Structure 1
Amino acid sequence: MTTAPGRGRTGGDPVTIADVARHAGVAASTVSYVLSGKRAISAVTRDRVLASVRALGYHPNAGARALASRKANVIALVLPLRTGMQVPVVMQFATAVVTTARRHDHDVLLVTSDEGPAGLRRIAAAAMVDGVLLMDVELEDSRVPLLRELALPSVLIGHPSDTTALACVDLDFHRAGEVCVEHLAGLGHRRVALLGAPAAVYARGTGFAHRTRAGVLAAAARLGLDAVTLPCEEGRTAIRRDLASLLDRHPDIRGLVVQNESAVGPVLATLPALGRQVPTDMSVVAVCPDQLAEQAGLTCVPVPAEEVGRQAVTLLMRRLRDEPVPEVTLLEPRLAVRDSTAGRGQ
């Protein structure tokens, strides 16, 4: 006898986990694990189980639905602890998220980004959290399609190329790159360079790095400046090597934009050894945390980690209340001028 959608084998009883298991050719415990996320199941088996769930029209019983509907008062923060990410900056975002979440009576579950979409599926299936904040967003992020499908409110710290049906908040990094170049151009510099994030960050398609580089190049083209950009690897030796290579190939550069927090100190220490005094021979402006720039006397566009973290939590709380939120919220960059930049009169 054919089982009707939403009905058991008798045609009148609700579909059960056992019915789904028979349809999918697996054990009932496997169905339970797929639906709860409490144990890792292969992608092939999971997809087969979910196909059976859809085909039979299975729904959890009323008690399970009630349990799933309870608020956990916990939000997840997916942290980007991987190559090229600066842990101190990531922790600034995390601290702001945790502090703001507590003001809303929510705790924070920290999740690392290495699990990708599977990690989001796991915490959603287990009803572990009320919502999720996602950091280190890529332009074509593999997690985004799943976020649109999950019945789990989310906010992205960063924004992909397509922001449809999402909620995103970030510094306007494209504009930040423009602001840096506009400052150097205003001081008379006609040849500038961007010493950017490590190559792995660009290779992943990480949004903030690509947008800053695009902003630097766009402003240079608009203002008639010559501009070059290159990634900068981590570690003092690599940073010194990349900077020396840049100046060897482009000795006429007198304006430098740095978007790599770990490179700020080594760059400022290496330039005098290469015969470039700051700011007499080289003006340096960075996109970095303001505290780091202030300690170094560095002109910068600050990365407002605390403000972004606060706004991300606030937007998520609004989504939890089913309130409308904008797809993209971009913070306007500001320039803090210090002693690392000076006019050239060119």
Structure 2
Amino acid sequence: MVTLAEVARHAGVSASTVSYVLSGKRTISSQTRERVERSIRELGYHPNAGARALASSKSDIIALMMPLRTDTFVPVMMEIAIAVATTAREHRHDVLLLTGQEGPEAVRRVVGSGLADAMIMMDVELDDARLPLVRETPRPAVLIGLPADARHLTCVDLDFAATGRLCVEHLAELGHRDIAVVGEAAAVYERHTGFAERTMDGIRQRAGEMGVRILHRPCEGSYESMAGTLARIFDERPATTGLIVQNESAIGPLLSLLRAQGRAVPEDISVVAICPEAVAVQQSVALTAVSIPAEEMGRRAVELVMAKVKQAGGTRGPATAVAAETRIELLPPQLTLRSSTGLAPTHASAHAPSPSTPAR
């Protein structure tokens, strides 16, 4: 393994000069810096991360808090994580992935141990228990998600409320007046996960404005649970002609069940999904869908948190804390029309409520 002393000899400078080039603690002439950096490249020198962190109060690591739960659609989470990791490398940072469901304790561990220069948090709940600590610590942090109270926080997310409104608008404009929502697992709503709650807020708001009846039923996502959920929907609302699905795991079973029941898509029932584009286009019927911009969210979260690190001078600790600002970036939803939606069937018109019927 190449040592710092060997780099110094190769570049014809002192070991302290190499150290200053690496840490940036002192100004080094551009000619000397270039010579040292050339020697580092040619020799393949990699400074010890632990020693570098102690010397510079920097770790060049971003902690990504991504709790993995049984009710989480992991491919979307991993797509975000990959985008975070690749964008972090562009900023010469690595990513420490924390997948446990530790809540505030994970924040305390990162802050107290100095594991990372900054934090990115996922799976944000409306009243997330981690947020008081995030507001108190000088460690730069960005949320991929939007809590109920976003004061003094930086957040990036898809605008899920607008997503819900857009899905209702599309179906209502096609004449659908009874729409059922196949939602995430019940536990997602029980812990008030932001994206799911905000989608339903948007759905209910727009449905009320457009005289559409809404029936929301959570679903675990398995074939058996989807069968029970679908039976319940048609038992409670026989006139249902439109479905909004916000549960990637349930999409395949749903389409199979509709086909087995002889319900043609979209002739008998229209389906709109909120899911990754790859999921939408790989089904037996290509789905009209609002895609989840996972890559864009991950990339933007890193850009925002690195701007905070730079603003703080790249170091950590109370002396360099930056006054907390509120910054919310909501990505606008885009609905892509495919084969799964069409005009409401005429046989359902007799069951359709009047425009004054309130949404439920």
Is the TM-score greater than 0.5?
yes
Q: Give CA deviations for 1:129-158 in whole Å, capped at 9, x if unaligned.
A: 000000000000000001011121100000
Q: Secondary structure at the match of 1:242?
A: helix
Counterpart in the other structure of 1:342: 342
The answer on whether the counterparts of 1:244 and 1:274 sit within 8 Å (CA) in structure 2 is no
| 1:39-78 alignment, distance < 5 Å | 67=54, 70-78=57-65
Counterpart CA distance in 1 for 2:176 and 2:161 is 20
1:215 to 185, 202, 208: 202
3-state SS of paired residue (2:290)? strand
1:54: which partner in 2?
A: none
How far apart in 2 are the matches of 1:72 and 1:211?
A: 36
Tell me the amino acid that sits aligned with residue 328 of structure 2: V
Match of residue 249 from structure 2? 262
More deviation in 150-159 or 243-252?
Answer: 243-252
Q: CA RMSD in A?
A: 1.5
Instruction: Describe the shift of the 1:280–1:124 C-alpha distance in structure 2 as closer, same or farther (beyond 3 A).
Output: same
Tell me the residue number matched to 1:279. 266
Shift of residue 113 of structure 1?
4.0
Contact 2:227 2:257 in 1 (8 A): yes
- 1:89 pairs, out of 76, 91, 99, with 76
Distance 2:274 2:255 in 1: 14
CA contact (8 A) 2:152 2:325 kept: no
Which residue does the alignment assign to 2:169?
A: 182
Q: Is the 8 A contact 2:151 2:325 kept in 1?
A: no
- Map residues 100-249 of structure 1 onto 2, 5 A cutoff: 100-249=87-236
Structure 2: distance between partners of 1:155 and 1:109: 15
Shift of 1:280: 0.5
Structure 2 gaps of 5+ residues are: 1-52, 313-323, 350-360
Given that residues 258 and 284 in structure 1 are in contact (C-alpha distance below 8 angstroms), is that contact kept between their aligned partners in structure 2?
Answer: yes
1:249 is displaced (CA, Å) by: 1.6
Alpha-carbon offset, residue 68 of structure 1: 8.0
TM-score, normalization by structure 2: 0.76
CA distance in 1, matches of 2:160, 2:55: 39
Report the counterpart of residue 292 of structure 2 in structure 1: 303
Under a length normalisation based on structure 1, what TM-score does the superposition of the two structures give? 0.79
The yes-or-no answer on 1:320 pairing with 2:284 is no
CA contact (8 A) 2:158 2:333 kept: yes
User: Would the alpha carbon gap of residues 183 and 92 (structure 1) be closer, same or farther in structure 2, given more than 3 Å must change?
Assistant: same
Conserved 8 A contact 2:151-2:326:
no
Which residue does the alignment assign to 1:49?
none
SS in 1 for 2:168: helix
What 5-or-longer segments of structure 1 have no aligned partner? 1-65
Opposite residue 341 of structure 1, the aligned amino acid is T
Q: What is the CA distance between 1:322 and its match in structure 2?
A: 1.8
Give the fraction of aligned pairs with identical amino acids, expressed as a percent. 50
User: How many equivalent residue pairs?
Assistant: 281
Counterpart-to-counterpart distance in 2, 1:186 and 1:218: 16
The corresponding residue for 1:333 is 333
Letter in structure 2 aligned against 1:224? G
In the aligned structure 2, how far is the partner of 1:143 from the partner of 1:331?
24
Amino acid at match of 2:335: L
**4+ runs deviating over 3 angstroms:** 66-69, 323-326
SS of the residue aligned with 1:192? strand
- Could you give the per-residue CA deviations for residues 82-137 of structure 1, whole angstroms, max 9, x where no partner exists? 13111111111111111111111110000024111111101111111000000000
Q: Tell me the SS of whatever aligns to 1:160.
A: coil
Instruction: Specify whether residues 68 and 187 from structure 1 end up closer, same or farther in structure 2 by C-alpha distance, changes over 3 A only.
Output: farther
